[in-house]
Amino acid sequence: MISERDSLIAERAIEIVERASSEGVILRILGALAVFLKIRDCEECIEAVRALGRLGSGLLFTDIDLAGYSKQRKQIRRFFEERLGYEPDFYVNRLFGDKRLIFQDPRDKVKVDVFLDKLEFSHDVVLKGRLELDYPTIPLEDLVLEKLQIHEINRKDLVDLAVLFARYDVCEAESPYCINGKRIAVVLADDWGFWYDATTNLNRLENLVRASTGTGKIPQAMANIIAERIQKLKALIEEEPKSKKWLKRAKVGTAKPWYRQVEEVTR
């Protein structure tokens, strides 16, 4: 399955979210850890992750990524520092504390990264007002957007997307049991750059699934389901009316940079 340390980090992330909730602090899990929690009840999905090399190649989770609200910034800091006894990253929290907070467990040095209101990477994924829609992770559609916004997407993120589509259908409603394609389409219809990278990444995902089926790493039945759901999402994205801002930016295209250069926080 997963390593003992990965299992420990996963359970700790859930425990943090649950304990924070009991104290009125809203936190939700992001990233690869959130993907794992969303598919861990699907044996076929776990097997596909293993076959595609996402398991067995080192640690899955090196730290814990969470989302919270900036209006609860003080409560979040108090929760980690006073209630959990975590050490704050004074440099990051002082310079970037309006959008990001970092803490570390002094016992085993596991880092917790808390993003406030939105994720700002190649493109923005706005989470303000959305964290209550699912538990203990961010909503499925926002998890998909988190992956699709990556300009230089890598194989592990494509694998994460593949298993999400294998496990969950695409729908047009807010639900913890399906990916709200309408939400994704609306977000992309207002941002041409995000739309361009997201649709490019969906095409890359289709190519990965096709190639992996040819080598026997993904069963044909699963590949058919993934392909059908990707097509459903692409149709919703195509049909969604585009904003004036989107149409204006589309005329410029790739002649001008359409994504943000992502740099790690230097400490």
Q: Is residue 90 assigned to a domain?
A: yes
Residue 93 has a pLDDT of 94
Q: Is residue 266 assigned to a domain?
A: no
pLDDT confidence tier of residue 115, bands split at 50, 70 and 90: very high
Dist CA 192 CA 188 (whole Å):
7
Q: Is residue 218 assigned to a domain?
A: yes
pLDDT confidence tier of residue 262, bands split at 50, 70 and 90: confident
Instruction: Give the residue, 263 or 6, on which the prediction is more confident.
Output: 6
The total of structural domains in the chain comes to 1
HSE-CB at 132 with a 13 A cutoff on CA atoms is: 5
Dist CA 10 CA 36 (whole Å):
9
Dist CA 237 CA 195 (whole Å):
9
Q: Is residue 265 assigned to a domain?
A: no
pLDDT confidence tier of residue 58, bands split at 50, 70 and 90: low
Residue 3 has a pLDDT of 79
Percent of the chain having pLDDT more than 70? 96
Dist CA 101 CA 115 (whole Å):
7
Contact between 219 and 168 (Cβ < 8 Å): no
Residue 266 has a pLDDT of 41
HSE-CB at 64 with a 13 A cutoff on CA atoms is: 34
Q: Is residue 267 assigned to a domain?
A: no
Residue 2 has a pLDDT of 73
Range of the domain at 58: 4-255
Q: Is residue 33 assigned to a domain?
A: yes
Helix intervals (H) in the chain:
4-22, 31-39, 43-51, 73-78, 90-96, 140-148, 155-167, 181-188, 192-214, 220-239, 244-252
Q: Has residue 265 got a pLDDT over 90?
A: no
- pLDDT tens for 191-250 read 999 999 999 999 999 999 999 999 999 999 999 999 999 999 999 999 999 999 999 999
Q: Is residue 262 assigned to a domain?
A: no
Q: Is residue 261 assigned to a domain?
A: no
- Helix (H) / strand (E) element for 103: namely strand 100-104
